[in-house]
């Protein structure tokens, strides 16, 4: 990530110069004040310039994503589980690992602090809340501005933050809890979108009798598609490729079984 050091007559002037040098809008740069302005002789302003070190938040986000994609896959709790969905925890089960309802465990608070530190690189106004905790997972919710920046294209930034939070907090698998990161119910909306897409493409595969390949997705998104079409006996789904981001292929099942069930339609 590139850093620049510039001087200006005022803090605002130095920030604007840094933004021009980095080629990004003022609101997209992070700054560190190296020396502040002071008063010159006889109390007149201008005796000392402001010096700042600045960097592009956009570049830091892209670097964060690049590093995540080049890193090895996360601990087992984050790996793909395509055909064995865990039952959704009931409201009464939330925070069952805590001594009192609503009281976060030390692990949850550690996760919140780690994610807050990561999010701070992208938005100074964003805050992190422990939304829910069970014996198996911790759900963290990000609040604040710059929703598009923090969620990213198809949730890439959220995925990167979630990956790093799991890597940094779950160093020991003995006490590991799956950490999930969300903002403005993006995960729920994304799941609904993926389920609708899976059903639509499944119908297309059965009609044309040809496989369809879906663009590379992370393990969580692939799992949603697998589970959506799992009970449709006319279809098979398979992940192809290596690493975290893999393509997913929907195949028509060959032989008489496919013909018998092709008219049944719905994928669940």
Radius of gyration of the chain (CA): 24
Task: Domain 189-262: state its class.
Answer: alpha beta
Is a pLDDT exceeding 80 seen at residue 40?
Answer: no
pTM for this predicted structure: 0.54
Query: Is residue 37 very low, low, confident or very high in pLDDT (cuts 50, 70, 90)?
Result: low
Is a pLDDT exceeding 90 seen at residue 143?
Answer: yes
Residue 31: the pLDDT is 75
Residue 243: the pLDDT is 79
Give the neighbor-by-neighbor strand order of the sheet with 246-252. Answer: 212-217, 246-252, 235-240
Residue 267: the pLDDT is 34
Is a pLDDT exceeding 60 seen at residue 167?
Answer: yes
Is it true that domain 71-184 has CATH number 1.10.287.10?
A: no
Segment (H or E) for 35: strand 29-35
Token pair for residue 47?
Answer: 């005796």
Mean pLDDT of the 175-201 span:
93
Domain residue ranges in the chain: 3-56, 71-184, 189-262
Residue 156: the pLDDT is 84
Is a pLDDT exceeding 90 seen at residue 234?
Answer: yes
Query: Is residue 181 very low, low, confident or very high in pLDDT (cuts 50, 70, 90)?
Result: very high
- Calculate ∠ Cα 36-41-43, nearest 5°: 75
Among 129, 122, 183, which residue's Cα sits nearest to residue 149?
122
- Report the distance separating Cα 53 and Cα 65, nearest Å: 23
């Amino acid at each position: 990530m590139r850093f620049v050091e510039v001087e200006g007559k005022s803090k605002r002037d130095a920030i604007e110069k840094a933004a021009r040098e980095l080629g990004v809008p003022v609101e997209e740069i992070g700054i560190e004040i190296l020396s502040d302005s002071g008063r010159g002789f006889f109390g007149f302003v201008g005796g000392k310039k402001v010096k700042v070190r600045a960097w592009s938040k956009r570049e830091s986000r892209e670097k964060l994503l690049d590093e995540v994609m080049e890193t090895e896959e996360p601990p087992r709790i984050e790996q793909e589980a395509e055909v064995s969905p865990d039952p959704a925890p009931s409201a009464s089960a939330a925070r069952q690992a805590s001594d009192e309802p609503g009281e976060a465990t030390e692990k949850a608070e550690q996760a919140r602090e780690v994610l807050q530190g990561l999010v701070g690189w992208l938005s100074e106004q964003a805050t992190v809340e422990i939304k829910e905790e069970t014996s198996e997972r911790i759900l963290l919710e990000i609040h604040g501005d710059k929703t598009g920046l923090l969620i990213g294209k198809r949730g890439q930034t959220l995925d990167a933050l979630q990956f790093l939070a799991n890597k940094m907090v779950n160093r020991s698998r003995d006490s590991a809890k799956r950490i999930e990161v969300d903002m403005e119910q993006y995960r729920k909306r994304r799941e609904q979108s993926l389920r609708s897409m899976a059903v639509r493409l499944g119908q297309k595969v059965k009609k044309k009798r040809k496989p369809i390949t879906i663009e590379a997705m992370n393990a969580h998104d692939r799992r949603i598609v697998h589970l959506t079409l799992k009970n449709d006996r006319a279809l098979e789904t398979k992940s192809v490729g290596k690493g975290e981001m893999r393509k997913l292929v929907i195949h028509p099942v060959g032989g008489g079984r496919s013909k018998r069930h092709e008219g049944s339609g719905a994928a669940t």
